[in-house]
Structure 1
């Protein structure tokens, strides 16, 4: 966030893994998320560190603030949660309208997600009470025409070796081509677009890069 001295907005703030380091670095960051559970967790993590950011429950499609921001930051591929191109274009225009003249939009995409992560993936955590939480992710659908993937996310709580609770979530992501996104940004009113591969600023993305970062400015 070099050169940014004004307020910053992080949409889809989640658990605060990007917001908290920015706050600790002295930036003025606000955030929103569609999930109240995520906001509560983020708020608790901030409170433990003596941080008190402005957080609110809002969505990409309808968020609104009475101020403009010097930068909007969308890390971790969160923009790919908007599965429809027309909806994503409208959100980008909403971002533009919430930026100061010349304000920056910075976001990550994961272009390889369309063809990777085909095998089930399992992650686990131990709770303070000694219970086990597991998350199993399984790709169930790939729509090449719509450029989307659908995965099942199964959350399980295990107590004393027995399954106590299980929840299933359908998780849809949209895949973007780099040139497609550049054209969409230009149509939404952005200019000076810099596309970087694997966080090497200004280095054009290459085959095999895990993440592609876009940085652009409100065209005014």
Structure 2
């Protein structure tokens, strides 16, 4: 799934996203577990918001995303911020042809857009093959609780001058999955009219134990599993699960 039309309003909608918390998490984990260097592979980089923040922290970043439109926005934003970094359009579950990195990341629940266990396992294997020895792999996912209790059968709305949306979420066909039906109304400043954009997203997660098993199968050591930008281990009501792993 790629965001297509949504790419151009994505940053507005993500204005309150905890990017600083992701940056802090990466800095703390890579220092604590001693990443072998500062080369970062940012998978599911979207519009480049996190990549650019990491570059400003001194990391050497490469961004990868499936959406051509997202990457175009990332390149435009990088130019405005006065930074340059490589961007590649690839499916993370079929990642190939890139050099080795010291750190790989999949943040902002991007991994949850993979719909099958096979795609997740393929992603872990491809990430492993693109990491330097002792390289670190950091990612987060929605918990099964988040899918069932926070998203499922819920409607979210926003009504602002430039953007309005109706966001309805329903249980998906697969276990621990949801379907998001989104309708956006985006102001066209030239005409003063609102363009209607419709999007359909699917997300799926898996129990923590499944992720751990698949990481170990892909020859990763799982160094820590925590929740919600804290040091706490997962609990029944945890919403976002964080994994830090090291390539064996």
Same fold (TM over 0.5): yes
Pairing 1:148-187 to 2, within 5 Å after superposition: 148-158=177-187, 164-187=194-217
Is the partner of 1:120 in helix, strand or coil? strand
| 2:169 paired residue number | 139
Asked if 1 retains the 8 angstrom alpha-carbon contact of 2:47 and 2:74, the reply is: yes
Taking structure 1 as reference, are residues 125 and 75 closer, same or farther at Cα in structure 2, changes over 3 Å only? Answer: farther
Normalising by structure 1, we get a TM-score of 0.87
Asked if 2 retains the 8 angstrom alpha-carbon contact of 1:122 and 1:137, the reply is: yes
Taking structure 1 as reference, are residues 124 and 100 closer, same or farther at Cα in structure 2, changes over 3 Å only? Answer: farther
Is the partner of 1:18 in helix, strand or coil? helix
Instruction: Please state which structure has a larger fraction of its residues in helix.
Output: 2
Out of 92-101 and 53-62, give the one that drifted further.
53-62
Taking structure 1 as reference, are residues 24 and 119 closer, same or farther at Cα in structure 2, changes over 3 Å only? Answer: same
Taking structure 1 as reference, are residues 27 and 159 closer, same or farther at Cα in structure 2, changes over 3 Å only? Answer: closer
| 2:22 paired residue number | none
Structure-2 separation of matches of 1:55 and 1:29: 9
Instruction: Please state which structure has a larger fraction of its residues in strand.
Output: 1
Return the offset for 1:18. Answer: 1.5
Structure-2 separation of matches of 1:209 and 1:141: 19
Q: Where in structure 1 are there 5+ consecutive unaligned residues?
A: 127-131
Return the offset for 1:83. Answer: 0.9
Is the partner of 1:140 in helix, strand or coil? strand
1:102 aligns with 2:134: yes
Asked if 1 retains the 8 angstrom alpha-carbon contact of 2:39 and 2:60, the reply is: yes
Pairing 1:35-114 to 2, within 5 Å after superposition: 35-111=67-143, 112-114=145-147
Return the offset for 1:153. Answer: 1.8
Return the offset for 1:113. Answer: 2.6
1:104-128 CA distances to partner (integer Å, 9 max, x unpaired)?
11001121331212321123554xx
